[in-house]
Amino acid sequence: MSSGIKILVYILSVIFPIVGLIVGIIWMTDNDEEKKQAGKTALTISIIVIVLGCICSFITAGAL
């Protein structure tokens, strides 16, 4: 797997977390260890972005 594809998926995981979730789950079920690691990373990035988005939403809603 090329590093360009991994970087693209990581960037998409930040912009569109659902893409990171889907690709992460698919890649984690692959037999290739490199793909599994990339899938875990994409999944982790997506979950962090979603959690940070929720925290920011709660903070913003509380400030209003």
- The predicted-structure confidence for 6-35, as pLDDT tens digits, reads as follows 999 999 999 999 999 999 999 999 999 999
Q: Computed from CA positions of residues 33, 34, 37, 43, in that sequence, does the dihedral angle turn out positive or negative? A: negative
Domain ranges of the chain: 3-63
The DSSP secondary-structure symbol of 30 reads: S
Give the chain's mean pLDDT. 94
Closest CA to 51 of 7, 20, 9, 5: 20
Closest CA to 28 of 49, 54, 9: 9
Q: What is the pTM of this model?
A: 0.88
- Residue 29's SS3 state is coil
User: What confidence tier does 62 reach under pLDDT thresholds 50, 70, 90?
Assistant: confident
User: What confidence tier does 1 reach under pLDDT thresholds 50, 70, 90?
Assistant: confident
Task: Specify the amino acid at residue 11.
Answer: I
